[in-house]
Amino acid sequence: MLIIRKLTKTLGGRTLFEDADMTINWGERVALVGPNGAGKSTLFKQILKEDKPDSGKIDLDEYAITGYLAQEAGDPGDETILEIAISTTPEMAKAIRTMREHEAAGTTDDADYHAAQDHFDANNGYALEPKAKKILAGLGFEADAYDQPANKFSGGWIMRAHLAQLLVKEPDLLMLDEPTNHLDLMALIWLQRYLKNYPGALLMISHDRDFMDELIETVYEIDEEKLISYTGNYTSYLEQRNKRYQQKVQAYRNQNKEIERVQEFIDRFRSVTSKAAQVQSRIKTLEKMKRLPKPIAPRKVFKFSFPQPKRSNQKVIELEKVHKAYGDKVIYESLDLTIERGDRMVLVGPNGAGKSTLLKILAGQLEFDSGERKCGYNTNLGYYSQHRTESMDEANTVLEEVMASGGDMREDEARSILGSFLFRRADVHKKVRVLSGGEKSRLNLVKFLVNPPNLLLMDEPTTHLDIISIEALVQALKHYEGTLVFISHDVHFIRNLADTTLHVDNGKLTRYAGGYDYYLEKSGLDDNRGAVTS
């Protein structure tokens, strides 16, 4: 279906690819991986013909239809969520818009209206609508949202509508750039099941390793300006990559030993006339030898030890008879919840069920209408949200901000931790005032790790992190001795950290005394009843 041969691309004076090859067959599931800046998005642009390579060929089957989900969607017009979902081609979008305008004006006898209606009907528009509604529901939309203008929704919801459009369209090659970023856990589970039955080929960039493990059968890594193919899912790729690195190290060492051996002979007998021919032969051997580059070790998770918090009381925090409503919409009524020392609890449930509201109430960040919130006598609470940054000194550099939080931490330790969370080299000298929202969120996360409270409340802590950074956070929190309550859509993160699952839905809390897999089993979400086929 897609064949890339001898691809070379230089960007900003830096070579991203040189003579790189890739093949994607019909129906194949492929992940593209590599560090930030390696060229993943550039390769996507070239496949989509939005950018041209310096040399090489990208051949896509002439009959193949390609669909692409970018990380960010443009501002929508006045189309509704449902109209976005069924606008599978520009022509279909124009037909829908024309029909809607004439229906609003009462001019359905116009020739333009009939032409648009004919196009809509000829392209199965009426059949697409129920399919689109089914997909929108799976992605978390309520039925009353379908006919609302998309511009009333957040960027994350608009991205879901565009994802629904692609799934309705069913392109032969579905290209997804971080498709799980804007999904909650329930929508992610639905999408994962849907894509398992997707009839076309998948090419994705993702930081969600469990999502890739469930779907991917081939991994292409951008490494040393090449596209290196690995058969299997992401976990298999990690194992194979490590073996490949060890083989490269051994080959490099063997070649250096051989070079030393030959050079020793040359140096030893250079002045011996009877050995002149042999010396010249060995000199030519060294000149012709293609020197292997020193292998670059794959980026590893930095493991660090941070101070443990003071021990809290057994009851860390309690909610009693809490009532919370937004106008006429009741979120919680007579809510009771007790969090005990050492709990590692994940909050799960459909979007809009009240998970973030509950976390904010626990954190003391949101007032409630009635009831009581009781913190334990020794409870020291910290609340992390991707949308909220802890008070920072805007004049500090990133490094100074962490050093100020980390007590006796050495500078090299602070730099290593910051590197694990994507602050590299000169980044540590940036002033806090110039950081982006995502950078401030990551810096806030590091500050929690170097001086943790004994109750840590976290809302989607992995959003601005790559796979290695997520693993660094997992390893740090595994050794955290305090109490952890969090919301996440990253299954790997949940599996490794949660020992209790709290399902939140329609103001009701259901506690499962086990982690993610226990919750799936007991809630029935791990059987085929919840699966959706394409």
Task: State which residues form the domain around 284.
Answer: 237-288
Judgement on whether residues 330 and 384 belong to the same structural domain of the protein: yes
Low-confidence ranges of the chain (pLDDT < 50): 528-534
Judgement on whether residues 47 and 177 belong to the same structural domain of the protein: yes
Domain boundary, last residue among 163, 185, 202: 163
pTM above 0.85?
Answer: no
**Of the candidates 7, 66, 73, 67, the residue with the CA atom closest to the CA atom of residue 42:** 7
Domain boundary, last residue among 134, 163, 192: 163
pLDDT at position 526, please?
Answer: 63
Q: What is the 3-state secondary structure (H, E, C) of 473-524?
A: HHHHHHCCCCEEEEECCCHHHHHHHCCEEEEEECCEEEEECCCHHHHHHHHC
Tell me: the pLDDT tens digits for 367-402? Answer: 999 999 999 989 999 998 876 666 788 888 989 888
- Name the DSSP letter for residue 153: S
Q: Is residue 534 part of a domain?
A: no
Judgement on whether residues 4 and 106 belong to the same structural domain of the protein: no
Structural domain count of the chain: 4
Tell me: the pLDDT tens digits for 68-92? Answer: 998 777 777 778 898 888 887 778 7
pLDDT at position 173, please?
Answer: 96
Q: Is residue 299 part of a domain?
A: no
Judgement on whether residues 127 and 157 belong to the same structural domain of the protein: yes
Indicate the helix (H) or strand (E) that contains 8: strand 2-11
Judgement on whether residues 433 and 347 belong to the same structural domain of the protein: yes
Judgement on whether residues 327 and 396 belong to the same structural domain of the protein: yes
**Of the candidates 320, 339, 304, the residue with the CA atom closest to the CA atom of residue 482:** 339
Judgement on whether residues 429 and 494 belong to the same structural domain of the protein: yes
Token pair for 90: 């520009």
Q: Is residue 308 part of a domain?
A: no
Judgement on whether residues 135 and 243 belong to the same structural domain of the protein: no
Domain boundary, last residue among 144, 163, 182: 163
Judgement on whether residues 145 and 105 belong to the same structural domain of the protein: yes
Task: Identify the CATH number of the domain in which residue 224 sits.
Answer: 3.40.50.300
| Contact partners, residue 66, CB within 8 Å, separation at least 6 | 47, 48, 60, 171, 172, 173, 175
pLDDT at position 392, please?
Answer: 80
Judgement on whether residues 123 and 52 belong to the same structural domain of the protein: no
Q: Is residue 434 part of a domain?
A: yes
Judgement on whether residues 334 and 483 belong to the same structural domain of the protein: yes
Judgement on whether residues 414 and 479 belong to the same structural domain of the protein: yes
Q: Is residue 227 part of a domain?
A: yes
Q: Is residue 218 part of a domain?
A: yes
Q: Is residue 298 part of a domain?
A: no
User: Helix crossing, 125-138 with 155-169: angle to 10°?
Assistant: 130
Q: Is residue 189 part of a domain?
A: yes
Q: To 5 degrees, how large is the angle CA 406–CA 410–CA 414?
A: 65
